[in-house]
Amino acid sequence: MTTAIVPTPLDTPCIEWTAARFSDGYGRVGDRKVHREIMKYAGHDIAGKVVRHRCDNKPCYRFNHLEIGTTADNMADMVRRCRSNAGNDHPRARLSADAVREIRHLFASFTHSEIAARYGVSQSCIDHVSTGRSWGHVHGPAIA
C-alpha cells in the first residue's frame, strides 16, 4: 500500500492513496473505491449510501475523515463548502440571482408560462424557481 500524508484543516492530516486511482481522483483497489472499502472493513453497512470525505480530499482514506450519508447529504456538503457551480457560476445558467428575485415577485401577477416567455426560458425552469428546486440558494427581498 502506498500513501502520502497531506495537511488538512481537520485535527489530523489526510492519508492519501497514491497507488491506482479512478479518473475522478478517488483511490482504487481493483474496481472498488478505497474509501468505501475502508468503511466496509470497519464494519459499516454502506449499501445504498455514500461515503463522504469531511476533508474534501478524494484520495484520502483516513477513517476519521470519512462519514456515511445520503446523496442529499453529499450534495449539501458540496454547496456548503462552495464546491458547486450553483446559480450564476454554472456555465449554462440562463438566469441571474437578480432575475430570480424579479421572477419571484412576478408570481403574484403573471402565469408561469408568461414569465417563462418574458425571460426566454422554459415553463419548467420557472416551475423549479417557484418551488426552490433550482435557485433555492437565492434569498432576499423580491425586486419590485
Q: Write the DSSP assignment of 28-52 as a string of letters.
A: EETTEEHHHHHHHHTT---TT-EEE
Tell me the H-state helices in the chain: 34-41, 71-80, 97-106, 112-119, 123-131
The residue from 52, 80, 108 where one domain ends is 80
Answer yes or no: do 16 and 69 share one domain: yes
Answer yes or no: do 21 and 64 share one domain: yes
The dihedrals phi and psi of 14, each to the nearest 5 degrees, come to -70, 150
pLDDT at 94: 85
Answer yes or no: do 52 and 117 share one domain: no
pLDDT at 8: 65
Q: What's the CA gap between 110 and 77, in Å, rounded?
A: 35
Answer yes or no: do 12 and 61 share one domain: yes
Q: Is the pLDDT of residue 1 over 90?
A: no
Q: Is the pLDDT of residue 21 over 80?
A: yes
Q: What's the CA gap between 100 and 20, in Å, rounded?
A: 44
Q: How many domains does the chain have?
A: 2
Residue 10 grid coordinates = 481537520
Between β-strands 14-17 and 3-6, what pairing exists: parallel, antiparallel or unpaired? antiparallel
- Closest by CA to 42, choosing from 62, 24, 14, is 62
Whether the Cβ atoms of residue 34 and residue 28 lie closer than 8 Å to each other: yes
pTM: 0.60
Domain that holds residue 115: 89-131
More confident residue, 9 or 117: 117
Out of 19-28, 54-63, 132-141, pick the least confident.
132-141
pLDDT at 76: 86
Answer yes or no: do 20 and 60 share one domain: yes
The CB density around residue 128, as the number of other CB atoms within 10 Å, is: 15
What confidence tens digit (pLDDT) does each residue in 51-92 have? 999 998 999 999 999 999 999 999 888 877 767 666 776 777
Answer yes or no: do 76 and 9 share one domain: yes
Is residue 137 in some structural domain? Answer: no
Is residue 138 in some structural domain? Answer: no
The pLDDT confidence band at residue 31, using thresholds 50, 70 and 90, is very high
Answer yes or no: do 16 and 41 share one domain: yes
- Closest by CA to 52, choosing from 71, 30, 68, 36, is 68
Answer yes or no: do 104 and 76 share one domain: no
Answer yes or no: do 69 and 112 share one domain: no
Answer yes or no: do 14 and 53 share one domain: yes
Answer yes or no: do 73 and 97 share one domain: no
Q: What is the mean pLDDT of the chain?
A: 86
Percent of the chain with pLDDT over 70: 86
